[in-house]
Structure 1
Amino acid sequence: MTNQTAGTTDDATVAALVARSNRLGSDPRVTNYAGGNTSAKGSATDPVTGEPVDLLWVKGSGGDLGTLTPAGLAVLRLDRMRALADVYPGVEREDEMVAAFDYCLHGTGGAAPSIDTAMHGLVDAAHVDHLHPDAGIAIAAAADGEALTREIFGDEVVWVPWRRPGFQLGLDIAAIKAANPQAVGCILGGHGITAWGDTSAEAEERSLGIIRRAEEFIARRTTELAERGEHPFGAVRPGYEPLPEAERRARAAALAPAVRGVASTDAPQVGHFTDSDVVLDLLSRERLAPLAELGTSCPDHFLRTKVKPLVVDIPATATVEETIAALHTAHEAYRADYTGYYERGAAAARARGEEPPAMRGADPAIVLVPGVGMFSYGRNKQTARVAGEFYVNAINVMRGAEAVSTYAPIAEDEKFRIEYWALEEAKLRRMPAPQPLATRVALVTGAASGIGRAIATRLAAEGACVVVADLDREKAAAVAAELGSADVAVGVAMDVSSEAAVRAGVQEAVLAFGGVDLVVNNAGLSLSKSLFETTEADWDLQHDVMAKGSFLVSREAGRVLVDQGMGGDIVYISSKNSVFAGPNNIAYSATKADQAHQVRLLAAELGPHGIRVNGVNPDGVVRGSGIFASGWGANRAAVYGVPEEKLGEFYAQRTLLKREVLPEHVAAAVFALCTADFSHTTGLHVPVDAGVAAAFLR
C-alpha cells in the first residue's frame, strides 16, 4: 500500500490511517459523507537524500473517509508545514495559508491539502481525528455547550469556541492541547469534535469514546423529557401526522414535479425523496417552523443543505392542489429571504474589504412537507441524496441540542462567510464541466434489451439519470445495475399496455429522481404475418404495446413534464415501416404509423409547454435486437429468401450507404435529438436506416 505518488515508503502508517478512516467514515453516527478528516504523522526515507524525513499524511480536500484510499491522502513535510506558523499573517489573510500548504508537499504530495490541514499538523499528537458526529455537534451547537462539555467530560475534553476552519483554528487547538495535557480531545463550538492519540488505535478509541459519552448523555436527557411527557421538538400538531405509507408515497409522487420545478427556478436540479421516521417526526411537531428557521450549524451541513430549508407549513390533510399553492407561496418568500441573507452577508464582506462571489441561486436545497417527507436537490442524484442525508444529520443535531439545552447555531454572518468563502468558490470552479445530459432524468421503456438497452446506456454515459423500464423487473434491475449505482439508474417494472402499471412506473421514476425530463417510447414487439394470417389478437397485442402503450406513457410522463415547468423531450422509436409499405407486416406497420402520427400530434399540443416531441425511424436493426431475436428475424429472413444469419447483411445491401444499422446508432440519434443542438426542433422523424429511398420523408 505504498503511497508512490508521494514518494514515501511508510506502508504501515498509511495502511493504519486508511483502515481507521474507513471504519470511522462508514458509520453515519460518526461522520457524514465527505465530512471530517483524519491524519497520521510518521517518518519515511527521503528518496532524494536517503535520510529520514518526518511527514504528515492527512485526508485531502473533498475526500470521503468511508471510501478513502492512499491516493486520497495529502502528504506534507512536517517541519515545513509547522514552520508556516512563523509566517502566518493573521486571521485577516487566513485564506492565503491553503496555497502555502503546496510549498510543504513531499514529492508530488498526493491529494490537494484541505483547509483543516493545519489542525492536524500543528497539534502535537501522532494521530488526529476531526469528525462531525450528530451527538458531538448537538453539544457543540447547544446554547450552553461549554458548560455541557465540562459536565459530560470533566477536563478530558476541552471546549473550543467557534472559529472558521483554517490555520488559526489549528493554532487554537494546538495551544489548548499543550495547556491541557490530560485532554484526549475537544468539542469545537458549532462544528464537531477533534481527538488525538499516540497510536492510531488510541485516537480512534478516544474519538468513539467522546461520541459514545455524548450520545449517552443526550439519551438520558431525552428519556427524562419523555418521562415528563415532553419532546425536544414539542407536541404533535393535529393534522400534521404522517400519512399512511401508500398514501404518503402517492402524495409525494403527485407533489414531486411541482417541488422540483420550484427548486429548479435558477438551475435544473435532480431530486431525492426521504420519508424516514426521523424526518416525519420533526414534520409533525410544534417546533418545526422555528427550528427550521434557525437553519443548520455544522459547515458541512449548510454547504449542502443551504442555511435553512423551505417548509410548506400546511397540514397533511390538505389536498394536493392546496399544498402546491402553499408551496409556491412559501417559495416566493424563501427566495426573498435568501436574497436578503445574501445581500446582508455581501455588504458585511465588502465592509471587511472583501468582494464576495455572486449569489449562486435563491432556491432551496431542502423542501419539507408535513405528513409526506423531505425533498432534497442537487446537481446530480448523489448530491441530492447526500443533501438529504445531511439534513437528517441536522435534525438529529437539533433534537439532541434541544434535549439537553437550546439549539443555537452559529451566527448568520458566519454562515455566509462559509457558504460564500473564496476557497469554496475556487473549489466549485475546479469542478469538471457538466456532461451534456447532466440534471436530466430519462425514462426508457423496453430498456432491458436491444435498442432500449442501447439508448439507456448512451443516455447514462452522457450524464442522465436513467429509469430502465421493462415488462420484466428483474431484467430491468440488472441493466440498471450495469449502468451504475442507484444514483445513476434504477429498474422499474412497466407493462406499457396497462394504465395502472404505467402510472405506477412513472411514480417510481419520480420518487427515484424527483421527476422526468426525457421520455423514450421504445417498448415494442412484432409478429411478421400476412393479412390473412394476422388474427385479431395479433392486431390488438401490437397496438396495445406500441400505439396504446406509447400514448399511456406519453400521457402519464407528460403530466410530470408539464407540472415541472422545465420543458423536456419525448422521443418515439418508430420505424421505417411507418412510411414504407412492405409485405406480410400489416399489424406492425400500422401501429408504427400510429406512433409516427402521435409524434406530430403531441409536438403540436405540448410545444407551448416547451416540450419537444420527435421520432426515430430505424430499419434493419438485427444484431442486438430483442424483436429480431424473438422470431421476427426468422420470419423476415423467410420473406426475403435469405438465411437468418445473413439478414443484417441483406438489409445493409439494400440501403444507399450499404451499412448495417446497430442499436447504438439508434441510441446516438436519440441522444442528439435531446441535446441543445436540437433545441428548436420538434415534430421531426429522423431516419436511422442507412438510406432507404422508399422511406424518404416527404
Structure 2
Amino acid sequence: MSLTTSSFKRVSYLWDEAEAAKLAGDEVALLIYRSNLLGADLRLTNYGGGNTSCKVISKNPLTGEDTEVMWVKGSGGDLGTLKRSGLAALYVDRLRNLKNIYRGIEHEDEMVDLFNHCIYDLCSKAPSIDTPLHGFLPFKHIDHLHPDAAIAIAAAKDGEQITRELFNGTIGWVPWQKPGFDLGLKLKACLDANPGIRGIMLGSHGLFTWGDTAYESYINTLEVIEKCADYLEQSYGKSKPVFGGQKINSLPEDERHEKAASLAPVLRGFCSSDRLMLGHFTDDARVLEFINSNDLDRLAPLGTSCPDHFLRTKISPLVLNLEPDEDISDVAAIKNKLVPQFDTYRAMYREYYENCKHPNSPAIRDSNPVVILYPGVGMFTFSKDKQTARVAAEFYINAINVMKGSEAISEYTSLPRQEAFNIEYWLLEEAKLQRMPKPKPLTGKVALITGSGGGIGKAIAKKFVEEGACVVLNDMNEKRLKEAGDEFISNFGKDSVATTPLDVTNHEQIEKALKRTALTFGGVDIVVNNAGLSISKSIEDHTGKDWDLLYDVLVKGQFMVTQAMVKLMKDQNTGGDVINIVSKNALVSGPNNAGYGSAKAAQLHLSRLNAAELGAAGIRVNVVNPDAVISDSNIWAGGWAEGRAKAYGITVAELPEYYAKRTLLNKIILPDDIANACFAFVGGLLDKSTGNVLNVDGGVAMAFVR
C-alpha cells in the first residue's frame, strides 16, 4: 500500500496528475518529468548526481522490427534540469551482450568505449559509466539517487544489517564498489538472489529503486527515502548527543559575516597558489552544528563516502586552527598563522597521492583544499568557478548530513583512501576532464564595475561575463540596478553575478560593496571605475556645488573605490587590474568644460600615480579614454547634451553625427567599443602593461597622448 501524498514529511511529493496526463503514452517524456521532480528536491539527490532510466519498445530503424531501447541520463548533466538532449538511448540486447566479451574487473574501463556500439539514437548524449547499472536490471523505470538519508545508512558501520532490518529484507545490499560494468553485474546478481525486492542499497554510495511505470518508480523512490529519513530523525540524540555535543558557540551572524568577508580574500590567495580560484561562503545551520561540535576533529579528516561527494570536495577539508573571535585585522600576522596550516594540508595531499598512485595514474593535481572549515564562523569552498565552488559547499553539507545520520544510528565510515584515490584519479574521469572546453580568458576572475546598471558599465560587465568572469553590478539607481541584475541572471545564471547599491562617494556603501564581493566570490581581480556624471557650463554659470559634485564622483570616487578594492587584491596576493574610464576631455581643451574636463584630467593623473605605486603588488592600472558615447549613457542626462550642443552651436539631435564627423575614422562610439577596450587590458595579452592610456574616440587628433 503506497503512502498518501500527505504522508510524506521528509521528502517533497511533486507529482501533478494533470501534467503527467499530458505526457501519457510517451515514456521518455515521463522519464524526463520524473527526473526533473526528483532533481528539484535536494534531499533526494544533489546537483549533477544520480541518474534515471526507462525502457521502451521501439522500431529498429534498419529492420523495422520491435526492439527494446533504454533511455538513461547521459554523462554529465543534472536531473533537475534534464532534457531529452541529455539522455542516452541504447539497444538493451546489445548492451547486455557485452557480458560475453567482458574480461573481468581489471579491464572493465575498456567497456565504456563499447557502449558506443550499443547506441540507438545517434543524436543522444554519450552514455555514462552508470549505464550498465540500469541496463542489467529488467525493470521498465529505474531511479539511482544519492539521498543523504539513504547514504547515512549505506555509510554506517553496520549499514547492511540496518537496511535488512529496517526494510524487512525488501531492500537488497551490494557492498561498496567503484561504479562501472562490474557493479552492474553485481546489481543483477543481488536481484537474482533476492527476487521481489523493491530496491538495492549500494554501500557508501546510494540507492537504486524501480517500478513498472514512471509514477510507480517515483512513489517507490519517495517511500524508501522517507522511511530512511524517518528512521534517522527518530534516532538523533536518542543514544548520544549529535556530533558528540556542542564544543564552541558561533559568533553572532553579523560578526560571522564580517569575519568571513575579511578572511575570504586571504584564503582565496592561499587556494590560488596553483591556479586562480573562486570562493563561496556559507554559515548554514547544518554547517555550524558540525563545525562547532566535539566530533569535528574526529570526523572531518575521515572525508566523505559517496563518490559524488568526494569528487566535489576532495579527500578531506582543512579545519582552520583559528579562534572564532580571532583578531584578523593584522593580515600579515594571520597569513603567518595560516602558512603552516596550508603547508601541512598540501603535504598530506601529496603523501596521499604518492601512497595511492598507480603506474598509469594522471599527474598530481592541485594540492590545495576545496573545503575550509572555520569553527564558530562557517565554511568556505574554493574551485575553478563560482558554480563549482557553490556546488562543492552543497555536497559537503550532504556529507555532513550523512555523517550526522550514520553517527546517530551506528558509526560513520568513509571511503578507504585507496578507493577514494581510484575515483579521484580514475583514468575515465581524467579523460572527461581533458575533454572539457578550454577555459575562457576571464574564467576564475571577479570584476567590480562601478555604475554598471546601464550604458558603458553594463556593456563592460556583459563583455566580462561572456569571457568567463563573475561580475559585481552596482549603481546609485536601484531600479536600474535591479533590472540589470535580473537581466544578467536570466542570461548568464545566478553564479555569474552579484548586485549591490553603490554611491562611490559614500564610504559606508563602498565597504558594503567590498564585503558583498568578498562573501560572494572570495575577492576581486578587476576593478573598473566607470561611475560618472557630466556638467557642461561656462565659467560664469559653474557653481561651487557643481564643482564639488564633479570632483567627488569622478576623482574622489575613483580614489575611494580603488583604495578599498586594492586592499582585497593585496590580501589575496594574486595581483589584479584597475581600469579607469576617463575621457578624451582629460587631454583636450574646449569651451564650457572647466569642471568636467579638469576632473577628468585629475582622474588620468591619479591613474598614473596609482600605476606607479601598485606595480610592486602586481596590480596593473590602465585608462580607457572614450569620447561621445551617447547610447544608454547617464552622462547625456541632466543637461549635458544641451550644454555640449550649445557650446558647438548645433542641436541635440545633431550631436551624434557631429561627434562622428570630427573623428579621423568618422565613427560613432558605442558602449561595446569601450567594453572591448577594457577586455583588451585584462584578457591576458597585456599582462605586462600598466600606466597606459587607450583612446576609443574614433580618432581625435587633439587627444593623442604626447
Q: Which of the five TM-score ranges fits, normalised by the shorter chain?
A: over 0.9
Distance across 2 between alignment mates of 1:69 and 1:662: 38
Distance across 1 between alignment mates of 2:119 and 2:458: 47
Distance across 2 between alignment mates of 1:507 and 1:265: 23
Is 1:147 the equivalent of 2:161?
yes
Which residue of 478, 481, 503 maps to 1:476? 481
Is 1:429 the equivalent of 2:434?
yes
CA contact (8 A) 1:380 1:438 kept: yes
Shift of 1:488: 1.0
Is 1:232 the equivalent of 2:231?
no
Which residue of 539, 542, 563 maps to 1:555? 563
Matches within 5 A, 1:537-548: 537-548=545-556
- Give 1:364's aligned residue: 369
Distance across 2 between alignment mates of 1:630 and 1:76: 65
Distance across 1 between alignment mates of 2:385 and 2:531: 27
- Give 1:340's aligned residue: 351
Is 1:688 the equivalent of 2:696?
yes
Distance across 2 between alignment mates of 1:195 and 1:63: 20
Is 1:220 the equivalent of 2:234?
yes
Distance across 1 between alignment mates of 2:638 and 2:130: 60
Distance across 1 between alignment mates of 2:121 and 2:162: 44
Distance across 2 between alignment mates of 1:136 and 1:327: 37
How many residues of Structure 1 are paired with residues of Structure 2 in the alignment? 678
Deviations 1:622-678 (A, max 9, x none): 223221133211210111011212201111111111111111111110010112111
The residue type equivalent to 2:502 in the other structure is M
CA contact (8 A) 1:314 1:323 kept: no
Shift of 1:485: 2.2
CA contact (8 A) 2:157 2:410 kept: yes
Distance across 2 between alignment mates of 1:88 and 1:11: 36
Distance across 2 between alignment mates of 1:635 and 1:453: 25
Shift of 1:109: 5.1
Shift of 1:223: 4.2
Which residue of 367, 373, 380 maps to 1:375? 380
Which SS does the other structure have where 2:381 is aligned? strand
CA contact (8 A) 1:280 1:370 kept: yes
Is 1:67 the equivalent of 2:81?
yes
- Give 1:203's aligned residue: 217
- Give 1:6's aligned residue: none
CA contact (8 A) 1:128 1:194 kept: yes
Distance across 2 between alignment mates of 1:542 and 1:370: 47
CA contact (8 A) 1:10 1:44 kept: no
Shift of 1:313: 2.8
Distance across 2 between alignment mates of 1:687 and 1:199: 66
Distance across 1 between alignment mates of 2:189 and 2:66: 28
User: Normalising to structure 1: TM-score of the pair?
Assistant: 0.95
Which SS does the other structure have where 1:630 is aligned? coil
CA contact (8 A) 2:514 2:565 kept: yes
Shift of 1:287: 1.3
Which SS does the other structure have where 2:553 is aligned? helix
Which residue of 486, 489, 494 maps to 1:486? 494
Matches within 5 A, 1:115-134: 115-134=129-148
The residue type equivalent to 1:91 in the other structure is I
Distance across 2 between alignment mates of 1:11 and 1:372: 52
- Give 2:520's aligned residue: 512
CA contact (8 A) 2:206 2:306 kept: yes
Is 1:443 the equivalent of 2:448?
yes
Distance across 1 between alignment mates of 2:123 and 2:447: 41
Which SS does the other structure have where 1:435 is aligned? coil
Shift of 1:10: 10
Deviations 1:197-237 (A, max 9, x none): 22222222221112111111111110414xxxx42312222
Distance across 1 between alignment mates of 2:589 and 2:641: 18
CA contact (8 A) 2:386 2:495 kept: yes
Which SS does the other structure have where 2:144 is aligned? strand
Distance across 2 between alignment mates of 1:222 and 1:693: 76
Identical-residue share of aligned pairs (%)? 48
Which SS does the other structure have where 1:377 is aligned? strand
The residue type equivalent to 1:456 in the other structure is A
Unaligned runs of 5+ in 1: 1-8
Query: Considering only aligned residues, what root-mean-square deviation do their CA atoms show, in Å?
Result: 1.4
Deviations 1:397-444 (A, max 9, x none): 111111111111110000000000001001111111111111110000
Which SS does the other structure have where 1:75 is aligned? strand
CA contact (8 A) 1:367 1:374 kept: yes
Is 1:528 the equivalent of 2:539?
no
User: Normalising to structure 2: TM-score of the pair?
Assistant: 0.94
Matches within 5 A, 1:324-339: 324-339=335-350
- Give 1:5's aligned residue: none
Is 1:634 the equivalent of 2:642?
yes
Which residue of 59, 73, 97 maps to 1:45? 59
Is 1:32 the equivalent of 2:46?
yes
- Which sits farther off after the overlay, 295-304 or 150-159? 150-159
CA contact (8 A) 1:10 1:43 kept: no
Unaligned runs of 5+ in 2: 1-22
Distance across 2 between alignment mates of 1:673 and 1:200: 54
Distance across 2 between alignment mates of 1:637 and 1:299: 67
Distance across 2 between alignment mates of 1:107 and 1:22: 21
Deviations 1:111-139 (A, max 9, x none): 11000000100012111111100011111
Shift of 1:323: 5.2
- Give 2:295's aligned residue: 287
Deviations 1:554-607 (A, max 9, x none): 011000011101111000001111111111111111111111111111111111
Shift of 1:310: 0.9
- Give 1:500's aligned residue: 508
Structure 1 residues 336 and 153 mapped into 2: Cα distance closer, same or farther (>3 Å)? same
Distance across 1 between alignment mates of 2:162 and 2:334: 41
